[in-house]
Chain A
Amino acid sequence: GDSVTQMEGPVTLSEEAFLTINCTYTATGYPSLFWYVQYPGEGLQLLLKATKADDKGSNKGFEATYRKETTSFHLEKGSVQVSDSAVYFCALIGGATNKLIFGTGTLLAVQP
Chain B
Amino acid sequence: DAGITQSPRHKVTETGTPVTLRCHQTENHRYMYWYRQDPGHGLRLIHYSYGVKDTDKGEVSDGYSVSRSKTEDFLLTLESATSSQTSVYFCAISSQGEYTEAFFGQGTRLTVV
Contacts and interface: CB of A to CB of B under 8 A. Distances in A.
Interface of A: 32, 34, 36, 42-46, 49, 51, 89, 91, 93-94, 98-105
Given A43-B90, A49-B100, A102 B106 contact: no
Nearest to A98: B96
Given A43-B106, A44-B90, A105-B43, A100 B101 contact: no
Contacts of B96: 32, 93-94, 98
Interface residues of B, number: 22
B31 A98 contact: yes
Contacts of B101: 46, 49
Contact of A89 (B31, B43, B45, B50): B43
A51 B96 CA distance: 10
Interface of B: 31, 33, 35, 42-43, 45, 48, 50, 58, 90, 92, 94, 96, 98, 100-107
B19 to A, nearest CB: 20
A11 to B, nearest CB: 16
A32, A34, A42, A89 pick with most chain B CB within 10 angstroms = A32
B42 A103 contact: yes
